[in-house]
Amino acid sequence: MASVPETLVPYRWVPPLLVLGALLLVPWTLVLAYRLPARHTTDHWDVAWVGLDAAIAVALAATGWSIARRSTWAPSAAAVAATLIFCDAWFDIVLASGRGELLEAVLEAVLVEIPLAIFLVFLARHYEQTVTTVLAALRRGK
């Protein structure tokens, strides 16, 4: 994959600012690890999960639509969808309650979510080559 053109990130301060943000998150994460309770109850549990799944559905639809239209933002849509799916797998496993839920979450992550997310990352990274290959295969199938 080609490097990012300089005109896309015209300000030299952007990369150091992003690295600084990452470095500042380290102590903040340690503070949270110390301060947050191990157990928490919320009134909007259902809204959180429905919202995440709705965002995944929108990201997958946007990825499919952008690929069908051969849009230049298809790799970005695929990357967003992959990120949301990885997050969903993480939270499904970490927030599972009991052995049954944990087993279900792990199986879903291993068999569905992680493979799909890896495929989306691959698609984002090799978008043009993948689309060309798929279109050629479709043409041969006609």
57-94 pLDDT, tens per residue? Answer: 999 999 999 988 888 899 999 999 999 999 999 999 99
For residue 50, what are the CA distances in angstroms to 47, 76, 128? 5, 23, 33
Write down the pLDDT at residue 75. Answer: 94
pTM: 0.80
Radius of gyration of the chain (CA): 19
For residue 85 the two structure tokens come to: 């799916």
Q: Distance between CA atoms of 67 and 135, rounded to whole angstroms?
A: 11
First CA to last CA across the chain, in angstroms? 31
Are residues 68 and 78 in contact, defined by beta-carbon separation less than 8 angstroms?
no
Longest dimension (CA), the chain: 61
37-66 pLDDT, tens per residue? Answer: 988 888 999 999 999 999 999 999 999 999
Q: Distance between CA atoms of 40 and 90, rounded to whole angstroms?
A: 18
> Is residue 99 pLDDT above 90, yes or no?
yes
